[in-house]
Structure 1
Amino acid sequence: MSSTEETLDQPLLRVTNLAKSYGGNAACRDVSFDLWPGEILAVVGESGSGKTTLLKCISAQLACDDGRIEYLMRDGILRDIHGLSEAERRFLMRTDWGFVHQNPRDGLRMRVSAGANIAERMIAVGGRNYGKIRGTAENWMDQVELDPGRVDHQPGTFSGGMQQRLQIARNLVTHPRLVFMDEPTGGLDVSVQARLLDLLRSLVSKLQLSAVLVTHDLAVARLLSHRIMVMQGGEVIETGLTDQVLDDPQHPYSQMLVSSILPV
Protein backbone atom coordinates (compact mmCIF):
# COMPACT_ATOMS: atom_id res chain seq x y z
CA MET A 1 0.00 0.00 0.00
CA SER A 2 1.45 3.32 -1.03
CA SER A 3 0.94 6.46 1.02
CA THR A 4 -1.52 9.04 -0.24
CA GLU A 5 0.06 11.98 -2.01
CA GLU A 6 -0.43 15.22 -0.10
CA THR A 7 0.52 18.80 -0.72
CA LEU A 8 1.00 19.64 2.94
CA ASP A 9 4.63 20.00 3.99
CA GLN A 10 3.94 19.38 7.69
CA PRO A 11 3.00 16.16 9.47
CA LEU A 12 -0.49 15.85 10.89
CA LEU A 13 0.93 14.44 14.13
CA ARG A 14 4.47 14.80 15.46
CA VAL A 15 5.66 12.81 18.48
CA THR A 16 9.07 13.69 19.91
CA ASN A 17 10.94 11.78 22.65
CA LEU A 18 7.76 10.58 24.36
CA ALA A 19 8.25 8.79 27.69
CA LYS A 20 5.82 7.26 30.16
CA SER A 21 6.50 5.16 33.26
CA TYR A 22 4.36 3.34 35.79
CA GLY A 23 5.88 3.07 39.23
CA GLY A 24 9.43 3.22 37.89
CA ASN A 25 8.73 0.78 35.05
CA ALA A 26 9.13 2.44 31.66
CA ALA A 27 6.15 1.74 29.39
CA CYS A 28 7.47 4.06 26.65
CA ARG A 29 10.99 5.39 26.22
CA ASP A 30 12.14 8.05 23.76
CA VAL A 31 9.44 7.36 21.15
CA SER A 32 9.51 9.69 18.14
CA PHE A 33 7.65 9.61 14.83
CA ASP A 34 5.74 11.74 12.33
CA LEU A 35 2.34 10.82 10.90
CA TRP A 36 1.47 12.43 7.59
CA PRO A 37 -1.98 13.33 6.21
CA GLY A 38 -3.62 10.29 4.63
CA GLU A 39 -1.16 7.87 6.25
CA ILE A 40 -1.96 4.80 8.37
CA LEU A 41 0.73 3.83 10.89
CA ALA A 42 0.52 0.41 12.54
CA VAL A 43 2.16 -0.04 15.95
CA VAL A 44 2.86 -3.71 16.64
CA GLY A 45 4.44 -5.74 19.41
CA GLU A 46 3.68 -8.30 22.07
CA SER A 47 1.60 -7.56 25.17
CA GLY A 48 3.59 -5.24 27.41
CA SER A 49 5.56 -3.72 24.55
CA GLY A 50 4.13 -0.26 25.26
CA LYS A 51 1.93 0.13 22.20
CA THR A 52 -1.34 0.71 24.07
CA THR A 53 0.29 3.18 26.48
CA LEU A 54 1.67 5.04 23.46
CA LEU A 55 -1.78 5.20 21.87
CA LYS A 56 -3.36 6.54 25.07
CA CYS A 57 -0.65 9.19 25.42
CA ILE A 58 -0.86 10.49 21.86
CA SER A 59 -4.68 10.57 22.00
CA ALA A 60 -4.54 12.69 25.19
CA GLN A 61 -6.18 10.00 27.32
CA LEU A 62 -3.01 9.68 29.39
CA ALA A 63 -0.44 12.32 30.33
CA CYS A 64 3.12 11.51 29.26
CA ASP A 65 6.07 12.06 31.61
CA ASP A 66 8.30 13.64 28.98
CA GLY A 67 8.36 14.61 25.32
CA ARG A 68 6.06 16.51 22.98
CA ILE A 69 2.94 15.50 21.06
CA GLU A 70 2.05 18.07 18.40
CA TYR A 71 -1.04 18.10 16.20
CA LEU A 72 -1.57 20.13 13.03
CA MET A 73 -4.61 22.27 13.80
CA ARG A 74 -6.96 23.41 11.06
CA ASP A 75 -5.26 26.80 11.08
CA GLY A 76 -2.07 25.10 9.83
CA ILE A 77 -0.15 25.42 13.12
CA LEU A 78 1.41 22.48 14.95
CA ARG A 79 0.40 22.74 18.60
CA ASP A 80 1.43 20.68 21.61
CA ILE A 81 -1.75 18.88 22.69
CA HIS A 82 -0.75 19.13 26.35
CA GLY A 83 -0.59 22.88 25.94
CA LEU A 84 -4.23 23.00 24.89
CA SER A 85 -6.95 23.81 27.37
CA GLU A 86 -9.14 20.96 28.59
CA ALA A 87 -12.03 22.38 26.55
CA GLU A 88 -9.86 22.46 23.39
CA ARG A 89 -8.75 18.84 23.91
CA ARG A 90 -12.33 17.68 24.47
CA PHE A 91 -13.42 19.47 21.30
CA LEU A 92 -10.66 17.75 19.31
CA MET A 93 -11.74 14.36 20.66
CA ARG A 94 -15.36 14.97 19.67
CA THR A 95 -14.68 16.39 16.21
CA ASP A 96 -11.23 16.16 14.58
CA TRP A 97 -10.23 12.88 16.23
CA GLY A 98 -11.84 9.49 16.53
CA PHE A 99 -10.99 6.60 18.84
CA VAL A 100 -12.05 3.03 18.01
CA HIS A 101 -11.78 0.83 21.11
CA GLN A 102 -11.14 -2.91 21.03
CA ASN A 103 -14.29 -3.42 23.11
CA PRO A 104 -16.99 -1.41 21.33
CA ARG A 105 -18.93 -1.07 24.59
CA ASP A 106 -16.13 1.25 25.76
CA GLY A 107 -16.80 3.55 22.81
CA LEU A 108 -20.60 3.51 22.82
CA ARG A 109 -23.32 4.81 25.10
CA MET A 110 -25.18 1.59 25.72
CA ARG A 111 -28.36 3.12 27.16
CA VAL A 112 -29.25 5.27 24.17
CA SER A 113 -30.18 4.26 20.64
CA ALA A 114 -27.81 3.51 17.78
CA GLY A 115 -28.94 6.72 16.10
CA ALA A 116 -28.34 8.76 19.24
CA ASN A 117 -24.80 7.38 19.47
CA ILE A 118 -24.06 8.67 15.98
CA ALA A 119 -25.99 11.91 16.49
CA GLU A 120 -24.03 12.88 19.60
CA ARG A 121 -20.94 13.83 17.61
CA MET A 122 -22.99 15.68 15.00
CA ILE A 123 -24.56 17.79 17.75
CA ALA A 124 -21.06 18.50 19.12
CA VAL A 125 -20.18 20.23 15.83
CA GLY A 126 -23.36 22.28 15.72
CA GLY A 127 -25.97 19.95 14.22
CA ARG A 128 -29.45 21.02 15.32
CA ASN A 129 -31.93 19.90 12.65
CA TYR A 130 -33.49 16.67 13.91
CA GLY A 131 -34.48 15.44 10.46
CA LYS A 132 -31.00 15.96 8.99
CA ILE A 133 -29.30 14.39 12.02
CA ARG A 134 -31.54 11.32 11.87
CA GLY A 135 -31.07 11.01 8.12
CA THR A 136 -27.28 11.24 8.46
CA ALA A 137 -27.34 8.62 11.22
CA GLU A 138 -29.33 6.26 9.01
CA ASN A 139 -26.97 6.92 6.10
CA TRP A 140 -23.94 6.09 8.23
CA MET A 141 -25.55 2.92 9.53
CA ASP A 142 -26.00 1.89 5.91
CA GLN A 143 -22.35 2.77 5.12
CA VAL A 144 -21.11 0.46 7.89
CA GLU A 145 -23.48 -2.32 6.79
CA LEU A 146 -26.05 -1.94 9.55
CA ASP A 147 -29.79 -1.91 8.89
CA PRO A 148 -30.90 1.76 9.00
CA GLY A 149 -34.27 0.46 10.19
CA ARG A 150 -32.61 -0.29 13.53
CA VAL A 151 -31.68 3.35 14.14
CA ASP A 152 -33.85 3.41 17.28
CA HIS A 153 -32.50 0.14 18.71
CA GLN A 154 -30.07 0.20 21.62
CA PRO A 155 -26.49 -1.09 21.01
CA GLY A 156 -27.05 -3.96 23.45
CA THR A 157 -29.40 -5.57 20.92
CA PHE A 158 -26.57 -5.78 18.34
CA SER A 159 -23.90 -8.47 18.03
CA GLY A 160 -20.26 -7.70 18.88
CA GLY A 161 -19.33 -7.17 15.25
CA MET A 162 -22.34 -4.93 14.70
CA GLN A 163 -21.45 -2.91 17.80
CA GLN A 164 -17.96 -2.41 16.41
CA ARG A 165 -19.39 -1.14 13.12
CA LEU A 166 -21.69 1.19 15.04
CA GLN A 167 -18.70 2.52 17.00
CA ILE A 168 -16.91 3.17 13.70
CA ALA A 169 -19.93 5.09 12.35
CA ARG A 170 -20.08 7.13 15.58
CA ASN A 171 -16.43 8.09 15.14
CA LEU A 172 -16.46 8.86 11.43
CA VAL A 173 -19.69 10.86 11.14
CA THR A 174 -17.85 14.15 11.84
CA HIS A 175 -15.20 13.32 9.21
CA PRO A 176 -12.25 13.38 11.63
CA ARG A 177 -8.78 13.88 10.21
CA LEU A 178 -7.13 11.45 12.65
CA VAL A 179 -8.43 8.17 14.04
CA PHE A 180 -6.82 6.09 16.78
CA MET A 181 -7.60 2.36 16.62
CA ASP A 182 -6.89 -0.01 19.49
CA GLU A 183 -7.09 -3.63 18.27
CA PRO A 184 -10.27 -2.87 16.28
CA THR A 185 -10.77 -6.52 15.24
CA GLY A 186 -9.72 -8.09 18.54
CA GLY A 187 -12.15 -10.54 20.16
CA LEU A 188 -14.20 -11.06 17.00
CA ASP A 189 -14.71 -14.33 15.13
CA VAL A 190 -12.46 -14.78 12.10
CA SER A 191 -15.28 -14.34 9.58
CA VAL A 192 -16.49 -11.19 11.36
CA GLN A 193 -12.91 -9.86 11.49
CA ALA A 194 -12.52 -10.31 7.72
CA ARG A 195 -15.75 -8.44 7.01
CA LEU A 196 -14.82 -5.62 9.40
CA LEU A 197 -11.34 -5.31 7.88
CA ASP A 198 -12.81 -4.99 4.40
CA LEU A 199 -15.11 -2.25 5.70
CA LEU A 200 -12.27 -0.40 7.45
CA ARG A 201 -10.03 -0.55 4.40
CA SER A 202 -12.82 0.81 2.21
CA LEU A 203 -13.67 3.68 4.59
CA VAL A 204 -10.02 4.61 5.18
CA SER A 205 -9.48 4.89 1.43
CA LYS A 206 -12.77 6.68 0.72
CA LEU A 207 -12.38 9.27 3.48
CA GLN A 208 -8.58 9.69 3.11
CA LEU A 209 -8.17 9.15 6.84
CA SER A 210 -4.98 9.30 8.84
CA ALA A 211 -4.78 6.71 11.60
CA VAL A 212 -2.59 5.19 14.27
CA LEU A 213 -3.47 1.51 14.52
CA VAL A 214 -2.37 -0.62 17.47
CA THR A 215 -2.54 -4.34 16.75
CA HIS A 216 -0.88 -7.63 17.62
CA ASP A 217 -2.10 -9.07 14.30
CA LEU A 218 0.44 -8.57 11.52
CA ALA A 219 -2.16 -9.51 8.90
CA VAL A 220 -4.25 -6.53 10.03
CA ALA A 221 -1.18 -4.29 9.88
CA ARG A 222 -0.33 -5.47 6.36
CA LEU A 223 -3.87 -4.94 5.08
CA LEU A 224 -4.49 -1.48 6.55
CA SER A 225 -1.20 0.35 7.10
CA HIS A 226 1.33 2.22 4.98
CA ARG A 227 4.06 2.14 7.62
CA ILE A 228 4.75 -0.06 10.59
CA MET A 229 6.49 0.60 13.90
CA VAL A 230 7.69 -2.34 16.00
CA MET A 231 7.87 -1.86 19.77
CA GLN A 232 9.65 -3.95 22.38
CA GLY A 233 9.95 -3.09 26.07
CA GLY A 234 8.64 0.42 25.52
CA GLU A 235 11.09 1.27 22.72
CA VAL A 236 10.73 1.49 18.96
CA ILE A 237 13.18 -1.08 17.62
CA GLU A 238 12.26 -0.95 13.92
CA THR A 239 10.15 1.18 11.62
CA GLY A 240 9.59 1.38 7.88
CA LEU A 241 7.17 0.76 5.04
CA THR A 242 4.82 -2.05 6.04
CA ASP A 243 5.73 -4.47 3.24
CA GLN A 244 9.46 -3.86 3.73
CA VAL A 245 9.36 -4.55 7.47
CA LEU A 246 7.11 -7.61 7.18
CA ASP A 247 8.88 -9.10 4.16
CA ASP A 248 12.45 -8.32 5.25
CA PRO A 249 12.61 -7.50 8.98
CA GLN A 250 16.03 -6.34 10.12
CA HIS A 251 15.85 -6.52 13.92
CA PRO A 252 15.92 -9.99 15.55
CA TYR A 253 12.76 -9.21 17.53
CA SER A 254 10.92 -8.16 14.35
CA GLN A 255 12.11 -11.34 12.70
CA MET A 256 10.70 -13.34 15.60
CA LEU A 257 7.33 -11.59 15.35
CA VAL A 258 7.07 -12.16 11.63
CA SER A 259 7.99 -15.84 11.91
CA SER A 260 5.68 -16.65 14.80
CA ILE A 261 2.19 -15.97 16.09
CA LEU A 262 2.06 -12.95 18.35
CA PRO A 263 0.64 -13.51 21.81
CA VAL A 264 -2.43 -11.36 22.42
Structure 2
Amino acid sequence: MTKPLLVAENISKYYDGRVACEKVNFELWPGEVLAIVGESGSGKTTLLKCLSMQIAPNAGRVLYSLRDGRTESLSDLSEAERRFLMRTDWGFVHQDPREGLRMGVSAGANVGERLMAVGERHYGRIRSTALDWLNRVEIAGDRIDESPRNYSGGMRQRLQIARNLVTAPRLVFMDEPTGGLDVSVQARLLDLLRGLVRTLGLSVVIVTHDLAVARLLSTRILVMQQGKVIETGLTDQVLEDPQAPYTQLLVSSVLQV
Protein backbone atom coordinates (compact mmCIF):
# COMPACT_ATOMS: atom_id res chain seq x y z
CA MET A 1 0.00 0.00 0.00
CA THR A 2 1.11 3.53 -0.75
CA LYS A 3 -0.94 5.04 2.05
CA PRO A 4 -1.24 4.47 5.79
CA LEU A 5 -3.47 1.69 7.07
CA LEU A 6 -4.65 3.74 10.06
CA VAL A 7 -4.37 7.43 10.87
CA ALA A 8 -5.08 9.03 14.24
CA GLU A 9 -5.93 12.73 14.01
CA ASN A 10 -6.01 14.77 17.23
CA ILE A 11 -7.52 11.97 19.30
CA SER A 12 -8.66 13.34 22.66
CA LYS A 13 -10.61 11.75 25.50
CA TYR A 14 -11.64 13.32 28.80
CA TYR A 15 -13.27 11.93 31.92
CA ASP A 16 -15.00 14.48 34.19
CA GLY A 17 -12.69 17.17 32.87
CA ARG A 18 -9.59 15.08 33.39
CA VAL A 19 -7.35 14.45 30.40
CA ALA A 20 -7.07 10.74 29.51
CA CYS A 21 -5.40 11.42 26.18
CA GLU A 22 -5.13 14.62 24.21
CA LYS A 23 -4.32 15.58 20.60
CA VAL A 24 -2.66 12.30 19.66
CA ASN A 25 -1.55 12.08 16.04
CA PHE A 26 0.23 9.30 14.18
CA GLU A 27 0.13 7.14 11.06
CA LEU A 28 0.38 3.35 11.06
CA TRP A 29 1.64 1.77 7.85
CA PRO A 30 1.05 -1.78 6.58
CA GLY A 31 3.39 -4.24 8.30
CA GLU A 32 4.41 -1.73 10.97
CA VAL A 33 4.35 -2.45 14.70
CA LEU A 34 3.74 0.60 16.89
CA ALA A 35 4.34 0.34 20.64
CA ILE A 36 2.53 2.78 22.93
CA VAL A 37 4.43 2.98 26.21
CA GLY A 38 4.19 4.87 29.47
CA GLU A 39 3.51 4.38 33.14
CA SER A 40 0.12 3.46 34.57
CA GLY A 41 -2.29 6.35 34.04
CA SER A 42 -0.40 7.78 31.08
CA GLY A 43 -3.40 7.33 28.78
CA LYS A 44 -2.06 4.51 26.62
CA THR A 45 -4.95 2.09 27.23
CA THR A 46 -7.54 4.83 26.71
CA LEU A 47 -5.89 5.67 23.40
CA LEU A 48 -5.97 2.01 22.35
CA LYS A 49 -9.68 1.81 23.16
CA CYS A 50 -10.36 4.94 21.09
CA LEU A 51 -8.42 3.53 18.14
CA SER A 52 -10.25 0.19 18.29
CA MET A 53 -13.73 1.76 18.66
CA GLN A 54 -14.30 0.42 22.16
CA ILE A 55 -14.91 3.97 23.31
CA ALA A 56 -15.60 7.16 21.36
CA PRO A 57 -13.10 10.03 21.59
CA ASN A 58 -14.37 13.46 22.60
CA ALA A 59 -12.46 15.02 19.73
CA GLY A 60 -10.48 13.93 16.69
CA ARG A 61 -11.00 11.01 14.37
CA VAL A 62 -9.51 7.69 13.31
CA LEU A 63 -9.18 6.98 9.58
CA TYR A 64 -8.85 3.44 8.27
CA SER A 65 -7.99 2.13 4.82
CA LEU A 66 -10.57 -0.53 3.98
CA ARG A 67 -9.84 -3.56 1.81
CA ASP A 68 -11.68 -2.00 -1.15
CA GLY A 69 -9.25 0.93 -1.13
CA ARG A 70 -11.53 3.49 0.50
CA THR A 71 -10.25 5.45 3.49
CA GLU A 72 -13.06 6.12 5.95
CA SER A 73 -13.44 7.73 9.34
CA LEU A 74 -14.42 4.98 11.76
CA SER A 75 -17.08 7.22 13.25
CA ASP A 76 -18.79 7.39 9.84
CA LEU A 77 -19.15 3.61 9.52
CA SER A 78 -22.49 1.99 10.27
CA GLU A 79 -22.77 -0.29 13.29
CA ALA A 80 -22.92 -3.32 10.95
CA GLU A 81 -19.77 -2.17 9.14
CA ARG A 82 -17.93 -1.72 12.43
CA ARG A 83 -18.90 -5.17 13.69
CA PHE A 84 -17.80 -6.74 10.43
CA LEU A 85 -14.49 -4.90 10.58
CA MET A 86 -13.83 -6.06 14.15
CA ARG A 87 -14.51 -9.73 13.43
CA THR A 88 -12.66 -9.92 10.11
CA ASP A 89 -10.03 -7.27 9.41
CA TRP A 90 -9.06 -6.56 13.02
CA GLY A 91 -7.97 -8.56 16.04
CA PHE A 92 -7.78 -7.56 19.69
CA VAL A 93 -5.56 -9.42 22.16
CA HIS A 94 -6.53 -8.62 25.75
CA GLN A 95 -4.17 -8.72 28.72
CA ASP A 96 -6.55 -11.15 30.41
CA PRO A 97 -7.30 -13.85 27.83
CA ARG A 98 -10.61 -14.59 29.53
CA GLU A 99 -11.86 -11.30 28.08
CA GLY A 100 -11.03 -12.46 24.56
CA LEU A 101 -12.17 -16.08 24.80
CA ARG A 102 -15.46 -17.87 25.37
CA MET A 103 -14.60 -19.92 28.39
CA GLY A 104 -17.70 -22.11 28.12
CA VAL A 105 -16.83 -23.68 24.75
CA SER A 106 -13.88 -25.73 23.54
CA ALA A 107 -10.60 -24.38 22.23
CA GLY A 108 -11.54 -25.52 18.74
CA ALA A 109 -14.88 -23.77 18.96
CA ASN A 110 -13.17 -20.54 20.03
CA VAL A 111 -11.16 -20.55 16.81
CA GLY A 112 -14.01 -21.92 14.70
CA GLU A 113 -16.45 -19.21 15.75
CA ARG A 114 -14.24 -16.59 14.20
CA LEU A 115 -14.17 -18.55 10.93
CA MET A 116 -17.94 -18.86 10.94
CA ALA A 117 -18.16 -15.08 11.34
CA VAL A 118 -16.57 -14.72 7.90
CA GLY A 119 -18.90 -17.25 6.28
CA GLU A 120 -17.18 -20.63 6.68
CA ARG A 121 -19.76 -23.37 7.26
CA HIS A 122 -17.95 -26.63 6.40
CA TYR A 123 -17.29 -28.46 9.68
CA GLY A 124 -14.31 -30.39 8.36
CA ARG A 125 -12.55 -27.28 7.07
CA ILE A 126 -13.28 -25.38 10.27
CA ARG A 127 -11.84 -28.15 12.43
CA SER A 128 -8.83 -28.61 10.15
CA THR A 129 -8.06 -24.88 10.21
CA ALA A 130 -8.50 -24.76 13.99
CA LEU A 131 -6.05 -27.65 14.37
CA ASP A 132 -3.56 -25.88 12.13
CA TRP A 133 -3.76 -22.73 14.21
CA LEU A 134 -3.45 -24.56 17.50
CA ASN A 135 -0.26 -26.06 16.10
CA ARG A 136 0.98 -22.61 15.04
CA VAL A 137 0.57 -21.28 18.57
CA GLU A 138 2.15 -24.40 20.09
CA ILE A 139 -0.96 -26.02 21.56
CA ALA A 140 -1.17 -29.80 21.14
CA GLY A 141 -3.89 -30.84 18.71
CA ASP A 142 -5.27 -33.46 21.10
CA ARG A 143 -6.43 -30.59 23.33
CA ILE A 144 -8.72 -29.08 20.69
CA ASP A 145 -11.87 -30.28 22.43
CA GLU A 146 -10.86 -29.10 25.90
CA SER A 147 -12.27 -26.01 27.55
CA PRO A 148 -9.89 -23.05 27.95
CA ARG A 149 -10.65 -23.39 31.66
CA ASN A 150 -8.25 -26.35 31.64
CA TYR A 151 -5.47 -24.31 30.03
CA SER A 152 -2.68 -22.42 31.80
CA GLY A 153 -2.50 -18.64 31.52
CA GLY A 154 0.12 -18.84 28.78
CA MET A 155 -1.91 -21.39 26.80
CA ARG A 156 -5.03 -19.25 27.08
CA GLN A 157 -3.11 -16.29 25.72
CA ARG A 158 -1.83 -18.35 22.80
CA LEU A 159 -5.37 -19.58 22.12
CA GLN A 160 -6.62 -16.00 22.14
CA ILE A 161 -3.93 -15.16 19.56
CA ALA A 162 -5.04 -18.07 17.35
CA ARG A 163 -8.67 -16.98 17.62
CA ASN A 164 -7.71 -13.48 16.48
CA LEU A 165 -5.38 -14.39 13.64
CA VAL A 166 -7.36 -17.21 12.00
CA THR A 167 -9.28 -14.76 9.78
CA ALA A 168 -6.05 -13.15 8.51
CA PRO A 169 -6.68 -9.65 9.92
CA ARG A 170 -4.57 -6.79 8.67
CA LEU A 171 -4.49 -4.96 12.01
CA VAL A 172 -4.17 -6.34 15.53
CA PHE A 173 -4.47 -4.36 18.76
CA MET A 174 -2.67 -5.78 21.79
CA ASP A 175 -3.18 -4.59 25.36
CA GLU A 176 -0.30 -5.74 27.60
CA PRO A 177 -0.31 -9.25 26.03
CA THR A 178 2.44 -10.53 28.34
CA GLY A 179 1.16 -8.91 31.52
CA GLY A 180 0.59 -11.26 34.45
CA LEU A 181 2.62 -14.12 32.97
CA ASP A 182 5.74 -15.68 34.43
CA VAL A 183 9.00 -14.49 32.93
CA SER A 184 9.70 -17.78 31.16
CA VAL A 185 6.17 -17.86 29.73
CA GLN A 186 6.52 -14.23 28.63
CA ALA A 187 9.69 -15.03 26.71
CA ARG A 188 8.06 -17.92 24.89
CA LEU A 189 4.98 -15.86 24.04
CA LEU A 190 7.05 -12.92 22.78
CA ASP A 191 9.07 -15.20 20.54
CA LEU A 192 5.83 -16.62 19.14
CA LEU A 193 4.33 -13.18 18.59
CA ARG A 194 7.42 -11.85 16.86
CA GLY A 195 7.45 -14.80 14.48
CA LEU A 196 3.75 -14.52 13.64
CA VAL A 197 3.90 -10.76 13.10
CA ARG A 198 6.78 -11.10 10.66
CA THR A 199 5.43 -14.16 8.86
CA LEU A 200 1.93 -12.74 8.39
CA GLY A 201 3.01 -9.15 7.73
CA LEU A 202 0.65 -7.83 10.40
CA SER A 203 0.21 -4.23 11.40
CA VAL A 204 0.08 -4.02 15.19
CA VAL A 205 -0.63 -1.40 17.83
CA ILE A 206 0.63 -2.73 21.15
CA VAL A 207 0.26 -1.12 24.57
CA THR A 208 2.92 -2.10 27.09
CA HIS A 209 4.64 -0.71 30.14
CA ASP A 210 7.63 -2.97 29.43
CA LEU A 211 10.22 -1.30 27.22
CA ALA A 212 11.92 -4.65 26.62
CA VAL A 213 8.69 -5.87 25.01
CA ALA A 214 8.53 -2.70 22.90
CA ARG A 215 12.13 -3.17 21.78
CA LEU A 216 11.59 -6.81 20.81
CA LEU A 217 8.32 -6.39 18.90
CA SER A 218 7.97 -2.84 17.61
CA THR A 219 9.43 -0.85 14.75
CA ARG A 220 8.24 2.49 16.09
CA ILE A 221 7.42 3.75 19.56
CA LEU A 222 5.13 6.39 21.03
CA VAL A 223 5.83 7.54 24.59
CA MET A 224 2.93 8.96 26.62
CA GLN A 225 2.85 10.91 29.85
CA GLN A 226 -0.28 12.36 31.46
CA GLY A 227 -2.31 11.79 28.32
CA LYS A 228 0.08 13.44 25.91
CA VAL A 229 2.62 12.09 23.43
CA ILE A 230 5.98 13.42 24.55
CA GLU A 231 8.26 11.50 22.20
CA THR A 232 7.95 9.28 19.14
CA GLY A 233 10.28 7.72 16.60
CA LEU A 234 11.95 4.52 15.53
CA THR A 235 12.09 2.17 18.52
CA ASP A 236 15.84 1.60 18.56
CA GLN A 237 16.53 5.29 18.07
CA VAL A 238 14.25 6.40 20.91
CA LEU A 239 15.47 3.76 23.34
CA GLU A 240 19.14 4.27 22.53
CA ASP A 241 19.01 8.07 22.54
CA PRO A 242 15.87 9.31 24.34
CA GLN A 243 15.37 13.06 24.14
CA ALA A 244 12.52 13.78 26.56
CA PRO A 245 13.48 13.71 30.26
CA TYR A 246 10.55 11.39 31.01
CA THR A 247 11.68 8.93 28.34
CA GLN A 248 15.21 9.09 29.70
CA LEU A 249 13.84 8.19 33.13
CA LEU A 250 11.81 5.29 31.72
CA VAL A 251 14.82 3.91 29.86
CA SER A 252 17.18 4.24 32.81
CA SER A 253 14.79 2.76 35.37
CA VAL A 254 12.90 0.10 33.45
CA LEU A 255 14.81 -1.16 30.43
CA GLN A 256 17.23 -3.96 31.16
CA VAL A 257 19.67 -4.77 28.33
Q: Sort the TM-score into its range (normalised by shorter chain).
A: over 0.9
For residues 252 and 79 of structure 2, the distance between their equivalents in structure 1, rounded to whole angstroms, comes to 44
For residues 52 and 97 of structure 1, the distance between their equivalents in structure 2, rounded to whole angstroms, comes to 17
Q: How does 1:8-47 map to 2 (within 5 A)?
A: 8-47=1-40
Q: Deviation above 4 Å: which 4+ runs of structure 1?
A: none
Q: Percent identity?
A: 69
The counterpart of 1:107, out of the listed 100, 106, 109, is 100
For residues 221 and 51 of structure 2, the distance between their equivalents in structure 1, rounded to whole angstroms, comes to 16
Once the two structures are TM-superposed, the CA of residue 75 in structure 1 deviates from its matched residue by 1.1
Q: How does 1:74-223 map to 2 (within 5 A)?
A: 74-223=67-216
For residues 75 and 102 of structure 2, the distance between their equivalents in structure 1, rounded to whole angstroms, comes to 27
Once the two structures are TM-superposed, the CA of residue 231 in structure 1 deviates from its matched residue by 0.2
SS at match of 1:109: coil
**Structure 1 unmatched ranges of 5 or more:** 1-7
Superposed CA deviations along residues 220-263 of structure 1, whole A, max 9, x for unmatched, are: 0000000000000000000000000000000000000000028x
The residue type equivalent to 1:61 in the other structure is: Q
The residue type equivalent to 1:257 in the other structure is: L
1:233 is aligned to 226
The counterpart of 2:59, out of the listed 57, 61, 66, is 66
For residues 148 and 241 of structure 1, the distance between their equivalents in structure 2, rounded to whole angstroms, comes to 39
Query: How many pairs are equivalent?
Result: 255
For residues 112 and 104 of structure 2, the distance between their equivalents in structure 1, rounded to whole angstroms, comes to 14
Q: TM-score normalized by structure 2?
A: 0.98
For residues 257 and 80 of structure 1, the distance between their equivalents in structure 2, rounded to whole angstroms, comes to 34
For residues 163 and 248 of structure 2, the distance between their equivalents in structure 1, rounded to whole angstroms, comes to 37
For residues 29 and 54 of structure 2, the distance between their equivalents in structure 1, rounded to whole angstroms, comes to 21
For residues 132 and 58 of structure 1, the distance between their equivalents in structure 2, rounded to whole angstroms, comes to 33
Determine if the alignment matches structure 1 residue 243 to structure 2 residue 245: no
For residues 78 and 226 of structure 1, the distance between their equivalents in structure 2, rounded to whole angstroms, comes to 24
SS at match of 2:26: strand
